[in-house]
């Protein structure tokens, strides 16, 4: 007896199969459509495509053709691309006029969800592109984090952690988007103040720090007392010592008060005789 096939799960849970009905109904089979009639996907989460990777894919398509159909939805003046932007662009680069496509009618939110899932499964999105895509699902389509997680097949905690990247300072976000730091670096820098984030990200890139080294750097900075507080503490200690020295020298209560441009010394006396004694001591007995 032939054993039943083993069910395999992708790292994205439901994946594309759950978002796109896999049926054999009429129109389900791929058809060849003109590239000239395909409009770009306004919900494409990927913000840039590596030119070398595109050229490599075009070279493969020139020999083997487009093996996996793209996904489109029908619109009044043709088709709108849902998934497969790189394949369409590479096919154009290879000189093709038509590409195989599966036509599906999808809601706008499902178009974005499908585009996210396909790009994440192919590791085509960087962390910041994922974060912006999830934010778009939340803001434009009013989806909760639980709903986003269900649509893209990821844990809610993953969605929440990715969205937190949008709270980082812009230089950190840019470094992450450009691939100059890893997501672990960015999460470590999130523990620093906004001003410190802008400084530390440069240090991380220039020195090539690991994620663990970055975490330690942020921890040391966070635990270090502020410079102004240290100065104030040292200054207060010096003032106390000076007051005590003056009390001993003059034999009466002396108060010191520092101001922005100087300060004042208050010497107290409690009788005319004590005033005369302090006067003589301060002036050296000269009258």
Task: List Cβ neighbours of 253 (8 Å cut-off, separation of 6 or more).
Answer: 247, 267, 268
In angstroms, the CA 117 to CA 123 distance is 10
Task: Collect contacts of 180-188 with beta carbons under 8 A, ≥24 apart.
Answer: 180/205, 181/205, 182/211, 183/127, 184/211, 184/214, 185/209, 185/211, 185/214, 186/127, 187/161, 188/214, 188/215, 188/218
- The SS3 call for residue 8 is coil
> Beta strand 31-34 with 262-267: parallel, antiparallel or unpaired?
unpaired
Question: Residue 137: exposed, middle, or buried by beta-carbon count in 10 A (0-12, 13-18, 19+)?
Answer: buried
Q: DSSP state, 122?
A: T
In angstroms, the CA 140 to CA 77 distance is 25
CB 124 within 8 A of CB 93: no
In angstroms, the CA 135 to CA 30 distance is 32
User: Any idea where the domains of the chain sit in the sequence?
Assistant: 15-19+27-163, 169-223, 228-283
Per-residue pLDDT of the chain (287 residues; tens, 9 = 90+): 444 343 333 334 444 444 444 433 444 688 898 999 988 877 776 666 678 878 888 888 888 888 888 888 888 888 888 888 888 888 888 889 999 998 888 877 777 777 777 666 665 678 898 898 888 888 877 889 998 888 777 889 999 999 999 999 999 999 998 899 999 999 999 999 998 999 899 999 998 999 999 999 899 888 776 655 544 555 666 777 777 878 877 778 888 777 767 778 888 878 888 888 878 777 776 55
For 23-59, what is each residue's pLDDT tens digit?
A: 334 446 888 989 999 888 777 766 666 788 788 888 8
> Beta strand 78-83 with 38-39: parallel, antiparallel or unpaired?
parallel
- The SS3 call for residue 187 is helix
Nearest to 137 by CA among 124, 120, 86: 120
> Beta strand 78-83 with 70-75: parallel, antiparallel or unpaired?
antiparallel
Dihedral sign (CA 93, 104, 116, 118): negative
Q: DSSP state, 6?
A: P
pLDDT of 124:
65
In angstroms, the CA 9 to CA 166 distance is 30
Known catalytic residues are: 85
Residues in the chain: 287
pLDDT of 130:
86
Report the DSSP beta bridge partners of residue 70: 101
CATH architecture, domain 15-19+27-163? Alpha-Beta Complex (3.90)
Q: What is the model's pTM?
A: 0.56
E runs forming strands in 62-211: 70-75, 78-83, 98-103
In angstroms, the CA 142 to CA 148 distance is 10
| Helix (H) or strand (E) run with residue 263 in it | strand 262-267
pLDDT of 65:
86
In angstroms, the CA 153 to CA 249 distance is 79
């Amino acid at each position: 007896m032939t054993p039943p096939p083993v069910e395999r799960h992708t790292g994205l849970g439901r994946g594309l199969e759950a978002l796109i009905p896999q049926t054999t109904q009429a129109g389900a089979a791929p058809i060849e459509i003109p590239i000239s009639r395909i409009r770009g996907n306004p919900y494409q989460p990927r913000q840039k495509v590596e030119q070398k990777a595109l050229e490599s894919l075009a070279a493969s398509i020139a020999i083997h053709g487009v093996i996996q159909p793209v996904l489109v939805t029908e619109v009044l003046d043709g088709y709108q691309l849902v998934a497969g932007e790189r394949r369409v662009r590479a096919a154009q680069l290879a000189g093709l006029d038509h590409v195989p496509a599966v036509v599906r009618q999808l809601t706008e939110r499902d178009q974005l969800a499908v585009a996210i899932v396909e790009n994440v499964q192919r590791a085509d999105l960087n962390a910041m592109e994922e974060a912006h895509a999830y934010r778009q699902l939340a803001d434009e389509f009013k989806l909760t984090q639980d709903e986003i997680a269900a649509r893209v097949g990821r844990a809610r905690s993953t969605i929440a952690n990715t969205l937190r990247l949008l709270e980082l300072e812009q230089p950190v976000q840019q470094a992450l988007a450009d691939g100059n730091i890893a997501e672990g670096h960015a999460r470590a820098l999130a523990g620093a103040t906004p001003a410190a984030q802008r400084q530390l990200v440069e240090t991380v890139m220039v020195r090539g720090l690991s994620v663990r080294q970055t975490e330690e750097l942020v921890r040391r900075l966070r635990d270090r007392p502020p410079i102004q507080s240290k100065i104030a503490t040292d200054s207060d200690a010096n003032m106390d010592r000076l007051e005590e020295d003056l009390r001993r020298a003059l034999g009466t209560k002396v108060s010191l008060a520092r101001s922005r441009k100087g300060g004042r010394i208050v010497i107290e006396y409690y009788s005319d005789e004590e005033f005369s004694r302090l006067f003589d001591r301060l002036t050296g007995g000269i009258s």
